[in-house]
Amino acid sequence: MAKHKTPMLDELEKGPWPSFVSDIKHQAEKGKQAVKDAPDDLLGILELSYADRVTHWKHGGIVGVFGYGGGVIGRYCDQPEMFPGVAHFHTIRVNQPASKFYSTEFLRGLCNLWEKYGSGLTNMHGSTGDIILLGTTTDNLEPLFYDLTHELNQDLGGSGSNLRTPSCCVGKSRCEWACYDSEECCHEMTMEFQDELHRPAFPYKFKFKFDACPNGCVASIARADMSVIGTWKDDIRIDQGAVAAYVGGELKPNGGAHAGKDWGKFDIVKEVISQCPTECMWMDGKKLMINNKECNRCMHCINVMPRALRIGTDTGASVLFGAKAPILEGAQMSTLTVPFMPMEPPYEELKELIGKVWDWWMEEGKNRERLGELIQRESWQKFLEVIEMEPDPRMMREPRSNPYIFWREEEVEGGWTRDITEFRKKHQR
Amino acid sequence: MPYDPNEPLKDRITDIGPRYYQDFLPPVVKNNRGKWLYHEIIEPGVLVHVSETGDEVYTIRCGGARLLSIEFLREICDIADKHCDGFMRFTTRNNIEFMVDKKEKVKPLLDDLKSRKFAAGSNKFPVGGTGAGVTNIVHTQGWVHCHTPAIDASGVVKAVMDGLFEDFGKMRLPAQVRVSLACCLNMCGAVHCSDIAILGIHRKPPMVDHEWIDRVCELPLAIAACPTAAIKPAKTAEGLKTLDINYDRCMFCGNCFTMCAAMPLADDVGSGIAILVGGKISNRKSAPKFSKVVIPFIPNEPPRWETTVKAVKNIVDVYAKGAKKYERIGEWAERIGWERFFEKTGIPFSHHLIDDYRFAYTTWRTSTQFKF
């Protein structure tokens, strides 16, 4: 028998999409979780929110494990007498493996651990990428961390004003478009910056995300303070035989992504050549031609004809900085900073770059100021000075339209010290 | 040795990071890492990737609720053990993927997945989320676990995905449609570049808990947190230090509440949903774009959020009818013009949709190129 009546939540058991309510009910009924009443009481308090149309969770308290300043988020409900199973309901962030492949051995180990020390409820995964263990009491934190590290050889993720758990796309493991090894780079950068990840010393959060191509499956350009996006410098590889097969209809465009509707016969001019944003493609008889020098590597033609067109072989990544959601100055996307960086382990160039960025941000950033906001406040020119890079037209959408240039004194002949008396000798008052 | 509460720091292990991802790759993936040639979507939710070695990996993508119990995770493990040599993966958008190395293994796996239902009847493993369709909604915690939300997350997602279910399993749209939900402006779900974003917003200024605020908050931090300088120091009639809010300046961002628990702003009728459309992440054809607010407010309607579901479905349907092949929602809206977007979708345009914050002018029309 369910502990609480949940008539409103029961409505969310209907319909074809997987019902989280059904799942929590199943855990409440069958599960052997340490915090026995957590699933039942979570449904109870959620039902109360459904009736009241506001949340019943309080501002987090400071909880954690010894030596770490992040990885655990304190959470308490505001009706502990009614719902004792979720009175203390702290979240634990566990650093997911790059690209989120799992062995069942590891997953079962994680389930056993969370059965022993928590609510039996998880998020696979949180928005930043972590495995989220949803809800336990303070006394379970240290033993859980001990078993997590000793038995599963696994560490916590980030929270608070620190490096947040980095994440990446599926990359070379299962994608033909990976321009660099986003998984290896994500793992290596996570390992390199363990101290920054576990011990908050930043003005605010900092996120790394690694997309292996410009399609951007992990959305780094919108949500990472440092977005590393794969690209290439040489020519798109063309298999003219496969081009002919697309034109002839033997191969389905876009890997069959449009199969649910009849869009008519594939038309390479309409669907590929005239959609090219730089107009750098044309047909020479039956041959597809590309002026690669003018290509901006948007991926459209490659996405439409994956068996005919492949990314180049001189590959690496573009590095961009400054993305964030709207809080506080408005949403920002990352700005192109390093057009091309070779990306080979151990990624020394990238590590050196991030070191310069952090030194500046930690010195100049205000409390809760994201990197993108600091760059806006100080200027792109200042940022380039800090990272010791020369300005490049690729960094800007267009040159400035106002002429309010902050000339530096050393750029102007004779500097700024002038003699008004000399001036007056020629110009009466 | 198990954990010893008397010596909590004994044998302590720290800073070991995550497990190495290559330890978790299925053999066919490990053997062909970096060697993939191309992929195809055989049917909605089923992909094949072909390697230069001739190997193939078949992936079956299933929608997931993100909020999963360990009992359910164990069921995932059972399936992966039975069909997939003990490996599986999750996608960035919370889909569950099962992989097999032979075509003949696909059908038994599909049949198994499609047969599994929750007690009340919903699918445990709906197959789809590929190609030109709707894939899983990325979302935040909502009323399940967060202190700042304006709306629930899991319940809204469940209701909207029930409404879009056909398009999860079909590939009839002009391009992929990425729907995302964030339950407040903090956007831990970063929905600001989605084709359709469902965003929790507040519409009432914070209440100040005058009796407690000076005991639980650093008042200068709360004052500094306000981007419009709407908060100033004040004293109660009893002489307690407190804060005063200039209501005319409040834009309901909730940043003060993030800094100070004694300024709650969530409200049963004040808080609700805004809908944004037309964002994208990919660099394909056009550059990545922000999503734009097209519906300023829909009340919270638990448990099934009917108005929100209807609004999202309407946008998807009008887009499906009007857009050209490969055109994302934002590209379609820009081609036809936003005035046409409002006309075709029947969404009313109001003053709420005109930007008046930091970069406002960049969104105003400074040409005569409009449509009647």
Q: What is the pLDDT of residues A228-239, one digit of tens each?
A: 999 999 999 999
Q: Average model confidence (pLDDT) for chain A?
A: 97
The pLDDT value recorded for residue A235 is 98
Mind giving me the DSSP string for B335-353?
HH-HHHHHHHHTPPP-GGG
Average pLDDT of the residues in A312-339 = 95
pLDDT, tens only, B254-280: 999 999 999 999 999 999 999 999 999
Average pLDDT of the residues in B144-149 = 96
pLDDT cut 70: percent of chain A above it: 100
In sequence order, the β-bridge partners of residue B49 are: B39, B57
**CB A412: neighbour CB atoms within 10 A?**
9
pLDDT value at A408 more than 90? yes
- Taking the CA atoms of residue A13, residue A16, residue A18 and residue A24 in that order, the dihedral angle to the nearest 10 degrees is 10
The pLDDT value recorded for residue B8 is 86
Cβ–Cβ gap B326/A194 under 8 Å: no
Which residues of chain B are within 8 Å of residue A272 when distances are taken between CB atoms? none
Are A230 and A315 contacting, i.e. CB atoms less than 8 angstroms apart?
yes
The pLDDT value recorded for residue A327 is 87
Kindly report the nearest CA distance between residue A168 and chain B, in angstroms. Answer: 8
Q: How far apart are CA A293 and CA A314, in angstroms?
A: 14
pLDDT band at residue A61 under the 50/70/90 scheme:
confident
pLDDT, tens only, B186-219: 888 779 999 999 999 999 999 999 999 999 999 9
pLDDT value at B1 more than 80? no
pLDDT band at residue B359 under the 50/70/90 scheme:
confident
Q: Which of A57, A142, A333 is facing B147, going by the closest CB pair?
A: A57
Distances (CA, A) of B216 to A61, B268, B325: 12, 25, 56
Instruction: Label residue B326 left, alpha or beta by phi (over 0 means left) and psi (-120 to 50 means alpha).
Output: left
Average pLDDT of the residues in B340-352 = 98
The pLDDT value recorded for residue A171 is 98
The pLDDT value recorded for residue B187 is 87
Kindly report the nearest CA distance between residue B37 and chain A, in angstroms. Answer: 5
Which residues of chain B are within 8 Å of residue A114 when distances are taken between CB atoms? 70
Cβ–Cβ gap A255/B39 under 8 Å: yes
Burial status of residue B271 (CB atoms within 10 A of its CB: 0-12, 13-18, 19 or more): buried
The pLDDT value recorded for residue A339 is 98
Distances (CA, A) of B186 to A19, A321, B55, B191, B260: 26, 19, 44, 10, 15
pLDDT, tens only, A188-226: 999 999 999 999 999 999 999 999 999 999 999 999 999
pLDDT, tens only, A1-11: 789 999 999 99
The pLDDT value recorded for residue A329 is 87
pLDDT value at B329 more than 80? yes
- Kindly provide the b/e burial profile for residues A342-371, where b requires at least 16 CB atoms within 10 angstroms of the residue's own CB: ebeeebeebeebbeebbebbeeebeebbbb
Please give the helix or strand (H or E) that residue B243 lies within, else none. strand B241-245
pLDDT value at B27 more than 90? yes
**Listed range (A114-123, A337-346, B5-14) with the worst mean pLDDT:** B5-14
Cβ–Cβ gap A153/B17 under 8 Å: no
Average pLDDT of the residues in A299-312 = 97
pLDDT, tens only, A369-380: 999 999 999 999
pLDDT, tens only, A75-95: 999 999 999 999 999 999 999
Kindly report the nearest CA distance between residue A407 and chain B, in angstroms. Answer: 25
Q: Which of A15, A42, A51 is facing B162, going by the closest CB pair?
A: A15
Q: Does ipTM surpass 0.95 in this model?
A: yes
The pLDDT value recorded for residue A60 is 77
The pLDDT value recorded for residue A115 is 98
Cβ–Cβ gap B17/A176 under 8 Å: no
Q: Which of B17, B92, B290 is facing A217, going by the closest CB pair?
A: B92
Beta strand A91-94 with A131-134 is antiparallel
Cβ–Cβ gap B65/A23 under 8 Å: yes
The pLDDT value recorded for residue A1 is 72
Q: Which of B36, B146, B168 is facing A175, going by the closest CB pair?
A: B36
pLDDT band at residue B59 under the 50/70/90 scheme:
very high
pLDDT band at residue A172 under the 50/70/90 scheme:
very high
